[in-house]
Structures are given as C-alpha cells and as structure tokens.
Amino acid sequence: MRILLTVVLVATGVLAGAAIPAVSGFVRGLLTSAGLPPAVFTYAAAPVPEASEKPPAGEATHAEGDGHDHGKPAAKSEGRARGEHAHSEAEGEEGHVKMTAEQVENQDIRVAKAEGGTLYRHIVVPGTITPDADRIARVPARVVGTVAEMRKRLGDAVKKDEVVAVLDSREVADAKSDYLTASVKAELEKTNFDRQQALWDKRISAESAFLNAKAVYAEAALRQDLARQKLSALGLNAAEVAKSAKQDESTPNASSLRQYELRSPLTGRVVERKVDVGAKVGSEGDPSDVYTVADLSNVWIELSVSTADLAKVKEGANVTVTPSQEGGERHDRGKVIFVSPLLNQETRSARVVVALPNKDMAWRPGTYVTAEVEVGQDRVPVRVPKAALQTVEGKRIVFVRTDEGFEKREVGLGRSDDDTFEITSGVKPGEKIAVANTFLLKAELGKSEADHAH
C-alpha cells in the first residue's frame, strides 16, 4: 500500500513540475523524503523571464536579491547605444562631410556652379606639318645668265620686292639695248613727224612727205612698244631701264646694261638656297631658281582621314594640335580648310588640310603631330568637369556644397567629351559642387563612414 502511494506521489510531482513553472519547496522536500533524486525535477525550473515579461510578484524580490546581475547587461547595452548616438552626432550625418570655409580654401577645393554647355566630340588622327602652299615661293631665274651676287643667306628675312640676287645676262643686255634703241628712234621720228605736219598745215611741203613721216613714226612707235613688252616679259620696268641708262652715261665704267635683279615675290624667310656666285642659271640643265622663300607665320597640317570618319569631318571644323613626340605639351588650334573629294587608291584615305597659325615659328615643317578634329557638338542642360566625379561603392558621385560642408550626391552620367560629362540626374543647374581636389573629400567621407560603422 505504501509502495503504491509512493508511485502516485512521484507521478503527481512530475506532472506538477511540468505544469507549474517553479516547484514549491514543500513539494520538492516531500519528493526527496520519498526517495526521488533531485535531478528528476530540476528540468522543471522556470526559465529566466524575458525583459518584456514581469516576473511573478512572489519572485520579484528573489530575482533582484539572489546575487545574480539580472537586467545589468541590458543597462550596459543601453548606455553603449547612447554613447554611439552621441558619437554619430559629433561626426555628422552619413554622406556628409563637415568642413568650414577656411578648410575648403586651405585645401584648395574649388567650388563652381553646375551649368549647361556644349560637349565637343572629336576624332584623333595623325598629321604632318607642311608649309602653307599659298605662302611659299621660288625666286626664279627668268633669263639665261651667270650669278653675279647673292645678297641673302639661308634663313635671312626678306620683304616683298626686295632684291635678293643679281645676274649677269647677255639676254638682258640685248633686251635693254633693243628698247633703248627703239625709244631713241621713236623720239626722232616723232620730231620729224611733228615738223612735217606743221609744214603740211601751212601747205609748204608736199602731202607725200607728210604721209611718209607719219608712217615712219608709227613704225618706230610700234618697235618701241614691242621692245617694252619684251622687257615686261623679263620682269623689267621700261622706265627704270631708261633711268639706269641715263645714270650709266655719267658713270661709263659701271654699266648696268647686263645686270638683272632678282626680287622676292613675298615677305618671309629664305628656307632654301640653290646656287652660288658664278653658277649658270636659266638654260636647259641649269637651275631654274636661286632661292626658296617661305612665310611660316601660318602652316598647314596634312591629315589622312579614313573613310569611316571622313563623313564626319567638315570644312571649318576646329582642330586641336599637339606634338606626337613624348613630352610635347604645346596645344594650338587650327581650322580645316580643305577636305579632298578624292581618295588615295592605296591607303583608302582622303587628304584633309588644316590651317594653323604659327606666329612664334615653333611649328616646323616636317614635324609629326596629333590632331583632334571636332566632328560634333551637343548642347546639354548640366555638365560637370571630370575632376568633379568620384567613385564610391561602385557609384559615381559629386560633392554638393552645403552650409556645413559637402553632401555626397549620386549622379547619372550621359554623354561626354575630353573634359566634361553630361549629368542626367542628381544635380540641378545652379547647384554648387566641388570641381577640384575632390579626392580629399572622398577621403574625409571614408573616414566619417568608417567611424559610423563602429
């Protein structure tokens, strides 16, 4: 009977332990006195109540005074949260960089308004500097003769119509003699014609004498005119020839009859000298010119543009030219003046000519250059310099100026040229953004976000 009672009490205790969160001390004592080990009912101990649950009224004092630090970790977490919040306020909001105007100036962070503008599209082609064909000329030897004087050296500056060389020519002497003789003959015949006309008017002489004098004078005048045209063909001025002949009369030992002066056809520099004093010129097999004069204040650039890009190149387009060799920092601008309608059969490219100012003579013919030919213009509502853009977490951003510093702003990019990008979203016209030394702002932003992560 006692054994049966013990079994009933054990079963009742187990059920009570499962149903009641904490078994009372009386029940535990009773079960222990009955011979049941304590391990049987220890699993029935009540779990620690969560922070949101209130413990039973009878155990509140025990939870606080049983020697355990119930609730203290939560207090520490709350204190840490309050500390982190204060730390965040001290560093500023995420995505912002606090910076005073003095700091901005000291770090040379330049700020400018985001504005609309034009994007210029280019193609890059190689080219070669050549003399301007309209500004290069040869000093020809128009007559057969011998070089008597060379008045200019290689590289000397010359002016238009300046005498650069003197030839000794029998051909010139004959032409001058013919003109001077014809001039004297014509003058004499004119005097005779005037006298015969006066006598005929008074009916003193016969009409036949008058008509004969008239015919002879007309023939002499014609010969004089032909001699003058011959001088003109040689580049000589009849009046100057006559003047020189009179001067020679006063200095018979210094005759200029055989001298032929060569003059520069344009203002420029002597870039080539082809003969020396004493050389024969003008006849078959001899040099036909003595100097080459060029005006290099403007030069040409010969470009070879492929058929794929040829349709984009237009006459009048702007061209930026830089030297092809390393270290060339010079940049000048020219214009396309000619696009050939013909293709080179071997290279399948077209000749494009660019006119380039060369006031300081730095561009030398024969130099290889790289030319950026403008092929299009696009108007955009907002554009920013490439230096204003930074990449953060794979996104392109700019830094917008605020009252306290700068704000990180993600932007959408559109078309671009060599210097700028079109902004399709993220920045409005007129907003001020950082356009120089933006990597400093990116570094400051990284520090701030790292502090927020702790």
Let me know if residue 62 belongs to a domain.
no
What lies within 8 Å, CB to CB, of 248 at 6+ separation is: 254, 255, 256, 257
CB neighbourhood size of 107 (10 A): 13
264 & 369 share domain: no
Q: Are 369 and 324 in contact (CB under 8 A)?
A: yes
Mark which of 378, 400, 428 sits at the end of a domain. 378
161 Rama class: left (phi>0) / alpha (psi -120 to 50) / beta: left
Which residues make beta-bridge pairs with 35? none
Mark which of 349, 378, 407 sits at the end of a domain. 378
Mark which of 294, 319, 342 sits at the end of a domain. 294
Let me know if residue 193 belongs to a domain.
yes
Q: To which H or E segment does residue 5 belong?
A: helix 2-19
266 & 385 share domain: no
Nearest CA among 364, 363, 301 for reference residue 338: 301
Let me know if residue 386 belongs to a domain.
yes
Let me know if residue 38 belongs to a domain.
no
**Total structural domains in the chain?**
4
Distances in Å between the alpha carbon of 256 and those of 149, 233, 245, 359, 378? 13, 19, 8, 40, 68
Which residues make beta-bridge pairs with 421? 384, 416
391 & 436 share domain: yes
408 & 392 share domain: yes
Which residues make beta-bridge pairs with 281? 145
Q: Would you state the structure tokens that stand for residue 188, as one six-digit string?
A: 């004499």
Let me know if residue 87 belongs to a domain.
no
The number of helix segments (H) and strand segments (E) in the chain equals 10, 22
Q: What is the CATH number of the domain that holds 262?
A: 2.40.50.100
Q: What is the CATH number of the domain that holds 325?
A: 2.40.30.170
Let me know if residue 436 belongs to a domain.
yes
Distances in Å between the alpha carbon of 286 and those of 144, 149, 235, 293, 376? 9, 17, 20, 20, 52
373 & 300 share domain: yes
Nearest CA among 297, 278, 265 for reference residue 164: 265
Per-residue pLDDT of the chain (454 residues; tens, 9 = 90+): 455 555 555 455 545 554 444 444 544 554 455 455 554 444 444 444 444 344 444 443 343 434 444 444 444 444 443 434 333 333 446 788 888 888 888 888 999 999 888 888 888 999 999 999 999 999 998 889 999 999 999 999 999 999 999 999 999 989 998 999 999 999 999 999 988 888 888 888 888 888 999 999 999 999 999 999 998 888 888 888 888 877 777 666 667 788 899 999 999 999 999 999 999 998 888 888 999 999 999 999 999 898 888 888 999 999 999 988 765 678 899 999 999 998 888 888 889 999 999 988 889 999 999 999 988 888 889 999 999 999 988 899 999 999 889 989 999 999 888 788 999 999 999 999 999 888 888 888 887 666 655 5
User: Could you tell me the residue range of the domain that residue 151 belongs to?
Assistant: 136-169+258-294
Let me know if residue 194 belongs to a domain.
yes
